[in-house]
Chains A and B, each alone.
Chain A
Amino acid sequence: MKTHIFALTLSVIICITARAGLKWDQTMIELHPTAADKQAIGHFKYQNAGSKPVRFKSVRTSCGCTAAQTQKEEVPEGEKGEITATFNIGERTGTQVKTVTVETDDPANVTTVLTLKAVIPQQLEITPTFVFWGQGEAPKPKTIVVRAAKDFPVKHLKVTSSSPDFQAKVEETGDGQFKIDVQPQETTRSIASTLTIQPEGSPKIFYATARITTAPAAPTAPTPPAGQTH
C-alpha cells in the first residue's frame, strides 16, 4: 500500500513539474507611430518556464495588414524568444487593434491571443470627405470642415480642384479649423473632381471628392406662392 501511495505521489509531482509553458512578458502592446511611419512593430517576448520544449503549431493574424514571425519553431526549456508582429499602417487612421493568435503544443496553454494596439495620429480631420449634387440640383456651395490636430498646427490650407468645373474657397474659422466651400459650375452632367488639401509647410496631402451623380436631385418641398403663409 505504501508503495502505491509513493508511486501515485511521485507521478503527480512529475506531472506537475514536467509541465511546459510559455511565459509572456506582455500579451498586449500599445504603439504610437508617428505620421511618417509606414509600419508599427510589436515585440512579444516570452520564456519557456516549463521543463519541456514547446512547439509552435500556428501563428495567425486577424488582418491581412499584419504579419507575425516566430524566431524558432520549437522553444527549449528555459529559453527566451519573441514573436514579432508587423502592422502595415497603410492609410489607416485612429486607434487600430490587431491580434495574433498563437497555438502551441503546450496542453496547459494551447492558445494565446497577443494584441497589438496602434494609435495612429490623425493630422487633419476632414468632414465630409465627399460632397455631391444630384443632376439638376441647384449648384449651391457645400461645405467641408477641416480640423487640425492640436499637435499639428496649421496656419493655412491650400485647396485645389482637379477639375475647373468645381470651385473651392477656403476660409479659416479659427482654433485650427477651416471651412472649404465647394461649388459646381453646373449640375446638368455627371462630373467629378478630386480636391487636394495641403496644409502649408507640410508634405502630407489629403483628399476629398466632389461629384455630380447621375441620379436626379432629391425632390424638395414646393415653394409656396408669394404672399401665402402657413
Chain B
Amino acid sequence: MKFSLACQALILAAFSLLPGVGQAIYFRDKISWQSPVPASEMVTVVQARAWGGNAIWVDARPDNEFARDHVPGALSLNEDRWGELLPLFLAEWSPEKKIVVYCSSQGCNASREVARRLHNEAQLKNVFVLEGGWEEWLKKK
C-alpha cells in the first residue's frame, strides 16, 4: 500500500514536470524580450522615494505618455529622440545623484534599454530601473 502511494506520488511529480520540460525545449532558441538587468540594479518605488533629492527620475516612455503625466520633476529620455534628449538630461545630471529610470509597467522594456545605454554608452554609474514602472508609482502615490 505504502509502495503504491509512493509510486503514485512519483508518477504525479513526473507529470507535473512535463510542461516545464516541454516549455524549455520549445523556447530553447527563443530570446528574452527583456534586457537583463541585475537584481541589484532594480529599485522599488519605496526605496527610490527614500533617496529624495539625491535621485534623478528619468521617464523612458514615449513623448505623448510623458506629456500626459509623469513623476514630478522627471526628465524625459526615450529612444525615439535619444540624440536630442540625452544632452538635456546630462545638463541636469550630477555625479553624486542616483538615476531612476521607469517606463509604463512591469512588462515594458524601455526603462531597461535606457538604463543600459546610460550605463554602457554614457558610462554613468548608479543607474537603476524602477520595478513596476509608472503603474507601480501610481499605486504607491
Residues of A bordering B, CB below 8 Å: 28, 62-65, 88, 90-92, 97-99, 115, 117, 126-130, 132, 134, 192, 194, 206-207, 209, 211, 213-215, 218
Establish whether residues A62 and B87, one from each chain, have CB atoms under 8 Å apart when the complex forms. Answer: no
Q: CB distance B33 to A98 under 8 Å?
A: yes
Question: Once the chains bind, are B33 and A129 in contact (CB under 8 Å)?
Answer: no
**At the interface, yes or no: B86 with Cβ under 8 Å from chain A?**
yes
Q: Can you list 12 A-B pairs, Cβ within 8 angstroms, ordered by A?
A: A63-B109, A64-B62, A64-B64, A65-B79, A88-B80, A97-B32, A97-B33, A117-B31, A127-B120, A129-B86, A130-B90, A206-B83
Residues of A within 8 A of B124 (CB): 130
Beyond A62-B108, A211-B90, 19 additional contacts (C-beta under 8 Å) are A62-B107, A63-B109, A64-B104, A65-B80, A88-B80, A90-B80, A90-B81, A91-B82, A92-B82, A97-B31, A97-B32, A99-B33, A115-B30, A117-B31, A192-B87, A209-B87, A211-B91, A213-B93, A215-B94
Q: Is the CB of A64 within 8 A of B110?
A: yes
* B79: A residues at CB distance < 8 A: 65, 90-92
CA distance A175 to B96 in the complex (A): 37
User: Does B13 make an interface contact (CB < 8 A)?
Assistant: no
Give the residue of B33, B80, B83 whose beta carbon is less than 8 angstroms from that of A62: B33
Interface size on B, residues (CB 8 A): 33
- Shortest A88–chain B CB gap in Å is 7
Closest to A217 in B: B95
Contact between chains at A28 and B113 (CB < 8 Å): no
A52-B95 Cα distance, complex, nearest whole Å = 61
Q: State whether A207 and B33 are in contact (beta carbons under 8 Å apart), knowing that A127-B121, A130-B122, A215-B95 are contacts in the complex.
A: no
The answer on a CB contact under 8 Å between A64 and B61 is: yes
The answer to the question of B41 belonging to the interface, with a C-beta cut-off of 8 Å to chain A, is no
- Could you tell me if B33 and A209 are in contact, using CB atoms closer than 8 angstroms? no
- B123, CB-defined interface residue at 8 Å: yes
A77 to chain B, nearest CB (A): 27
A165 CB to nearest chain B CB (Å): 14
Say yes or no: is B65 at the interface (Cβ < 8 Å to chain A): yes
Contact A90 B87 (CB under 8 A): no
Q: Are A128 and B121 in contact (CB under 8 A)?
A: yes
B residues near A97, Cβ cutoff 8 Å:
31-33, 109
Bound state CA distance, A117 and B91, in angstroms?
A: 33
Docked Cα-Cα span, A157 to B104, in Å, equals 39
Interface residues of B in 44-95 (CB under 8 A from A): 61-62, 64-65, 78-83, 86-87, 90-91, 93-95
Asked whether A91 and B80 contact (CB < 8 A) given A62-B107, A215-B95, the answer is yes
Q: Are B95 and A132 in contact (CB under 8 A)?
A: yes
Task: Tell whether, in the assembled complex, residue A91 and residue B90 are in contact, meaning their CB atoms are under 8 Å apart.
Answer: no
A18 CA / B65 CA spacing, docked (Å):
43
